[in-house]
Structure 1
Amino acid sequence: MRYRHVQARPAVRHGTPCAPPRPPYPDVAVVGSGIIGAACAEALTRRGARVTVLDRAPLASGTTAHGEGNLLVSDKPPGPELTLALASSARWPRLFAELGEELGAGLAERCEYEAKGGLVVALGEAGARALAGFAAAQRAAGVTAHEVAPDAVHAYEPRLAPGVRAAVHYPQDAQVQPVAAAAALLGAVRRRGGTLRAGVQALGVERGKDGRVTALRTSAGTLPCGAVVNACGPWAGRFAAEAGVPLPVQPRRGLVLVTAPLPPGTVRHKVYDADYVGAVGSGDADLRTSTVVEATRGGTVLIGSSRERTGFEERFRVDVLRELARKATALFPVLGRVPVIRAYGGFRPYTPDHLPVIGPDPRLPGLWHATGHEGAGIGLAPATGELLAQLYAGERPFLAPEPYRVARPGLAEEARCSA
């Protein structure tokens, strides 16, 4: 998979490279300024499209601001999501290098990009067998996964609890500061002539006589445009309904604990228990928790994770926070002596088949979707933006788009049922 960096240029219209000046409205309105919307806008403006990014709140302040910044391949079984993850994993370093030419050197450092790798551990025999089989299937799909013997695991993580039965090291796992990364993408959009508008809520779309999108209705008035990208994250289902095309995207809440800063090297990788994979893939509405521990550049340690479908209920449950802390200290006993300085939660865009929706909506020409990534949006953003922009521009996509389409089996039925 190769990407070519193209400087922003005027879009060619109707095969005429010297078309007259266009009216001051965008080719594309991207609704949502989180990492997915930002990645779509960046890839579109790289191809010369005139883009306006709108958000009802401050830029990148929704799901992106409440994530951990994980760029993971380790938690995904072979299939379409892993395909996106591998493409994005390879793309992130090159994307930072390309954007650095526009925004200044050292961009990856400013965005706290760190290819730290991941370590997945199993504490029981059943988990050890499941982890070995999962890693073998991933290796067959192109993932680098090194089995680590139990007596060697503390060379990777000296502070791990004793009793680990199996472990797998994933060197392709990485981490980034999600808001900084989204801001960099949006900065490139602005530099190329795009418009960023915070505090503007999208209310629906207007259609022409031929049924195509002609404008976006917003709280600040009507914005004429040729296309709209629904990158609203967990609110994407609401916006799709307002546009008249139901989409089964629901919020799935997650909570994270943040410790006081610890000395460098206390936690070296992203470390999680093997049961995390099952929690990610679960469709249960009830609470699911699993142990996830990782350090930030500033020394704090992030502890997760929880998943539950409770709508947009923002109230924290103390019992969930206690369970996260209990499981984390079982994996890293040193954390039992470290104060928790805060907790935060956010909503992730959940789809029934656990795959994102990327591409045009055949029910409404001119409406595009880029949503449904749940907790993997940070890691999947570059490939998502590239795929959507390629489809929009009529280019040959770098991977098969069919698994992510709106009309795929299962998702289409859910959409009809929610109408």
Structure 2
Amino acid sequence: MLRTGVTVDVVVIGAGAVGAAVAFFASREGLRVAVVDRGPIAGGTSSAGEGNILVSDKEPGPELDLALLAQRVWREDLAEHAALWEFEAKGGLVVGATPPAVAALAGLTRRQRAHGVEVTDVTAGELPAHEPYLALELAGGAHYPQDAQVQPMLVVAHLLRLSRSSGATVTTGAEVTGFLRHGDTVTGVRTTRGDIGAAMVVNAAGPWAGAVSELAGAPVPVLPRRGVVLVTQPLPPLVRHKVYAAEYVGDVASSDAALQTSPVVESTPAGTVLIGSSRERVGFDRTIPPEVPATLARKAVALFPRLASALALRTYFGFRPYCPDHLPVIGPDPRAPGLWHACGHEGAGIGLSVATGKLLAQGMTGRDTELDLTPFAPDRFATAPPVP
């Protein structure tokens, strides 16, 4: 049981990748940090993704800026810990099935290259040198050497372990039921295991961040968006990169609530192949229609015909924290002084977590942040239309 009235500098609501990154960087700055979660660590979205660290799927703009910062944090600030979470600098390969798809992809790569992304256009004849087992009829693609992958549950576990070594505490089974206030100012949280006073409270509750923000009287429109991943048996080396079809970029940016699927295929160090991706807004419905994994499998085989003989071991799914403008919510909330947000990253949360944590730690210690947080402002939705 938490002792009622415990006071720290920062309470982080959520023990997933984003909350763990906030705790790591804040505690490293000397702040006293308490992490609380109603479930186990990495019990939500962070246990239900592939662990991607991508620049390839982002148009130039604030999210790509955040992704490029994240690249530096993963590869420089956290380089000494890379083996702990199985950091793989595998690179990404985006492929187009038709000449129009490849032409559209080339337009994206031109824009990204001008924005600082490392990317090389790949002709149809060059594809086998990157991925020998790809389908032969593809029209071309693009290679992104900066794309990488981690094991997300290891990221959470080790960032929280390192945070504890800097004095942070982590309490699971502690659901936040309300906020402590002094006037309009947030001064802590009420949980099912006791109250915690704090100078700052960070909402890093993933797809439940919208509900947490409502409790604080400062709502942000973060909603769950369900995604399914199919896992094969361990296979001989088959897929070298993260490989996905060019239409995946459009699906990521879509606001459609209906089911969308686009093929994404990548291997793991254990030899299993992860197959995605699906997206649909169905609330927290945990019922997966059988046609979803069937569609994922069919589209993956169209990219890698040798997968047709592979056994599927299991599927898993999770709820990504969707924001209607496809930008995360990061920074202090002027509607409730003392409240900060770190949520709404949708399927990019693992990759962007460490940049988010570093930016919040800079802001919470009164320093200039490496990126302007204005595009991610929590109150930017105040006059926006309702979520479709």
TM-score category of the 2 structures, normalised to the smaller one? over 0.9
- The C-alpha deviation readout for 1:30-83, integer Å capped at 9, x for no partner, is 000100001111111111110000111111111001010000000000000000
Paired residue type of 1:84: L
In structure 2, which of residues 89, 113, 117 is the aligned counterpart of residue 115 of structure 1? 89
Where do 5+ consecutive residues of structure 2 fail to align?
none
Name the structure 1 match of 2:209: 236
What is the rounded CA distance, in whole Å, between the counterparts of 1:48 and 1:170 in structure 2? Answer: 37
Paired residue type of 2:298: R
In structure 1, which of residues 255, 267, 271 is the aligned counterpart of residue 243 of structure 2? 271
State the secondary structure of the residue aligned to 2:73: helix
Name the structure 2 match of 1:131: 105
- Establish whether residue 191 from structure 1 lines up as the match of residue 165 from structure 2: yes
Contact 2:90 2:145 in 1 (8 A): yes
Larger proportion of strand: 2
State the secondary structure of the residue aligned to 1:223: strand
TM-score under structure 1 length normalisation: 0.90
State the shift of 1:417 in Å: 5.1
State the shift of 1:173 in Å: 0.3
Name the structure 1 match of 2:151: 177
In structure 1, which of residues 306, 316, 327 is the aligned counterpart of residue 278 of structure 2? 306
CA RMSD of aligned residues (A): 1.2
Name the structure 2 match of 1:413: 383
Structure of higher RCO (CA pairs closer than 8 Å, 6+ residues apart): 2
Name the structure 2 match of 1:104: none
In structure 2, which of residues 224, 229, 246 is the aligned counterpart of residue 256 of structure 1? 229
State the shift of 1:110 in Å: 2.9
State the shift of 1:282 in Å: 0.2
Name the structure 2 match of 1:204: 178
In structure 2, which of residues 293, 301, 306 is the aligned counterpart of residue 321 of structure 1? 293
In structure 2, which of residues 45, 59, 64 is the aligned counterpart of residue 77 of structure 1? 59
TM-score under structure 2 length normalisation: 0.97
Name the structure 1 match of 2:316: 344
What is the rounded CA distance, in whole Å, between the counterparts of 1:208 and 1:24 in structure 2? Answer: 16
In structure 2, which of residues 29, 33, 36 is the aligned counterpart of residue 54 of structure 1? 36
- Establish whether residue 381 from structure 1 lines up as the match of residue 363 from structure 2: no
Name the structure 2 match of 1:165: 139
- Establish whether residue 87 from structure 1 lines up as the match of residue 49 from structure 2: no
What is the rounded CA distance, in whole Å, between the counterparts of 2:150 and 2:370 in structure 1? Answer: 24
What is the rounded CA distance, in whole Å, between the counterparts of 1:293 and 1:349 in structure 2? Answer: 22
State the shift of 1:390 in Å: 1.1
Contact 2:55 2:68 in 1 (8 A): yes
What is the rounded CA distance, in whole Å, between the counterparts of 1:316 and 1:115 in structure 2? Answer: 32
Paired residue type of 2:383: E
What is the rounded CA distance, in whole Å, between the counterparts of 1:173 and 1:259 in structure 2? Answer: 22
What is the rounded CA distance, in whole Å, between the counterparts of 1:201 and 1:121 in structure 2? Answer: 44
- The C-alpha deviation readout for 1:188-227, integer Å capped at 9, x for no partner, is 1100111000111011202113x21122011112111111
What is the rounded CA distance, in whole Å, between the counterparts of 1:24 and 1:222 in structure 2? Answer: 7
State the shift of 1:183 in Å: 1.2
- The C-alpha deviation readout for 1:111-138, integer Å capped at 9, x for no partner, is 1100000000000122111101011110
Contact 2:359 2:369 in 1 (8 A): yes
- Establish whether residue 358 from structure 1 lines up as the match of residue 343 from structure 2: no
Contact 2:84 2:158 in 1 (8 A): no
What is the rounded CA distance, in whole Å, between the counterparts of 2:336 and 2:6 in structure 1? Answer: 24
Name the structure 2 match of 1:15: none
> What is the percentage of aligned positions where both structures have the same residue?
54
Contact 2:220 2:379 in 1 (8 A): no
- The C-alpha deviation readout for 1:309-368, integer Å capped at 9, x for no partner, is 000001111011111011000000010100000000000000110000000111100111
What is the rounded CA distance, in whole Å, between the counterparts of 1:412 and 1:172 in structure 2? Answer: 36
State the shift of 1:182 in Å: 1.3
Where do 5+ consecutive residues of structure 1 fail to align?
1-22, 101-106
State the secondary structure of the residue aligned to 1:89: helix
Q: How does 1:19-30 map to 2 (within 5 A)?
A: 24-30=6-12
State the secondary structure of the residue aligned to 2:382: helix
- The C-alpha deviation readout for 1:242-281, integer Å capped at 9, x for no partner, is 11122100000000000000113x1000000000000000
What is the rounded CA distance, in whole Å, between the counterparts of 2:365 and 2:332 in structure 1? Answer: 12
Paired residue type of 1:247: V
What is the rounded CA distance, in whole Å, between the counterparts of 2:382 and 2:109 in structure 1? Answer: 32
State the shift of 1:25 in Å: 2.3
What is the rounded CA distance, in whole Å, between the counterparts of 2:109 and 2:49 in structure 1? Answer: 25
State the shift of 1:400 in Å: 1.1
